[in-house]
Amino acid sequence: MTRELRIGAAQLGPIARNDSRADVVVRLLDLLSQAEAAEVELIVYPELALTTFFPRWHLEDDDEILSFYEPSMPSPETKPLFDAAAEAGIGFCLGYAELHTSPDGKVHRYNSQILVERDGSTVATFRKIHIPGHEHNEDWREFQHLERRYFEPGPDGFGVWPAFGGLVGMMICNDRRWPETYRVMGLRGVELILCGYNTPIHYAPDPGQDRLQSFHNHLVMQAGAYQNGTWVVGVAKGGVEEGVHSLAESAIIAPSGEIVARAETDGDELVVATCDLDWCRNYKETLFDFDYYRMPEHYGRITAQRGAVPPQEAP
Ligand code: CDV
């Protein structure tokens, strides 16, 4: 049985603050139609794909803040996407702001991604773990990055699910910069990691990194793919959105670490590749045979502490 999966990275260009969900879903459906024409089996949309990237503002009005979250998924506005995808037999991964009521009645705000199989069944919902940015208004910035005000870290960890004929994991934007993200999934045998992102090119705490945004984006995903013998699909919401320029450069990355397909524009664009999930074995069963070569007895600090603890200076 072949384990080739045709994947479409459905990059989005900017979404304006006053664009409605219906406006956006029309664009998602257009990318889905292109995917169907290209015989794609899994289409991956970006992080927070239904609205503008609202953490760039310190919003005070609770009703406006709540308007960016989805209390249910599918929602009435996204149902046409779920229906069309199932009709076409295409699975999808979609990022959105989730308002989640837990069994104890507490309401949580997560930055989430849902994965839906080709038959329309939900595989999983992943909630972003590494929440970047800051919590309070920081006037000195050109624009805010208030994810830590609007989202709490996902409580469920990095799952890996049998789906699409392989083992599939998810991460969201800043998660991709942390090697632990990939390795935790690598230790479950992950073969395909799906990642949406919104990455402003200007990084206020250290603008020296601005010129390196493109390099760092591919560096981390290519390294994570190679070191864990997995496919990685990184999908941007790029372009100039409400005056803020965000990185595009969506890419499909092979277990070799090579980029096999990448976006050429910073707008709505479908990037397609046929991904052989069996290619993962070339790495998982040789150079990165974890069971044979890993030395976990020397990795204890990775889970035992959070920040760096320098060695004591010699007296
Ligand atoms: N949406 C993000 O998580 N963005 C971060 C920025 C703030 C650095 C990123 O890692 O791309």
Q: For 140-189, how does the pLDDT look when each residue is reduced to its tens digit (9 = 90+)?
A: 999 999 999 999 999 999 999 999 999 999 999 999 999 999 999 999 99
> If pLDDT is split at 50, 70 and 90, which confidence band does 2 have?
confident
Q: Identify the pLDDT of residue 107.
A: 97
Q: Identify the pLDDT of residue 314.
A: 64
145, 201 in Cβ contact below 8 A? no
Q: How far apart are CA 278 and CA 2, in angstroms?
A: 8
Regarding the beta carbon of 133 and ligand 1, being less than 6 Å apart is answered yes
Regarding the beta carbon of 198 and ligand 1, being less than 6 Å apart is answered yes
Going from the Cα of 217 to the center of ligand 1, the distance in angstroms, rounded, reads 10
Q: Identify the pLDDT of residue 7.
A: 99
Beta-strand relationship, 91-101 and 107-116: antiparallel
Mean pLDDT for the chain overall: 98
Sheet holding 122-127, edge to edge: 122-127, 107-116, 91-101, 42-44, 4-11, 269-276
pLDDT exceeds 90 at position 315: no
Over the stretch 38-84, which tens digit does the pLDDT of each residue have? 999 999 999 999 999 999 999 999 999 999 999 999 999 999 999 99
Q: How far apart are CA 10 and CA 2, in angstroms?
A: 24
Mean pLDDT of 277-299: 98
User: Which domains does the chain show, CATH number per domain?
Assistant: 4-304 (3.60.110.10)
pLDDT exceeds 80 at position 313: no
Going from the Cα of 273 to the center of ligand 1, the distance in angstroms, rounded, reads 25
**How far is the first Cα of the chain from the last one, in angstroms, to the nearest whole number?**
64
230, 193 in Cβ contact below 8 A? yes
Inter-CA distances, 309 with 35, 180, 303, 305, 313, Å = 49, 18, 13, 8, 12
> Looking up tokens 């997560």, which residue turns up?
110
The catalytic residue positions are 47, 128, 173
Over the stretch 113-135, which tens digit does the pLDDT of each residue have? 999 999 999 999 999 999 999 99
Instruction: Give the chain's length.
Output: 315
Q: Is 311 exposed, middle or buried (0-12, 13-18, 19+ CB in 10 A)?
A: exposed
Q: Helices 179-186 and 213-228, interaxial angle, to 10°?
A: 20
Which atom of ligand 1 is found nearest the CA of 247?
11
24, 17 in Cβ contact below 8 A? no
> Looking up tokens 């992950």, which residue turns up?
190
Inter-CA distances, 243 with 68, 107, 310, Å = 19, 32, 41
> If pLDDT is split at 50, 70 and 90, which confidence band does 35 have?
very high
Estimate to the nearest angstrom the gap between the alpha carbon of 53 and the chain centroid.
Answer: 14
Which atom of ligand 1 is found nearest the CA of 55?
1
Both tokens of residue 166? 């392989």
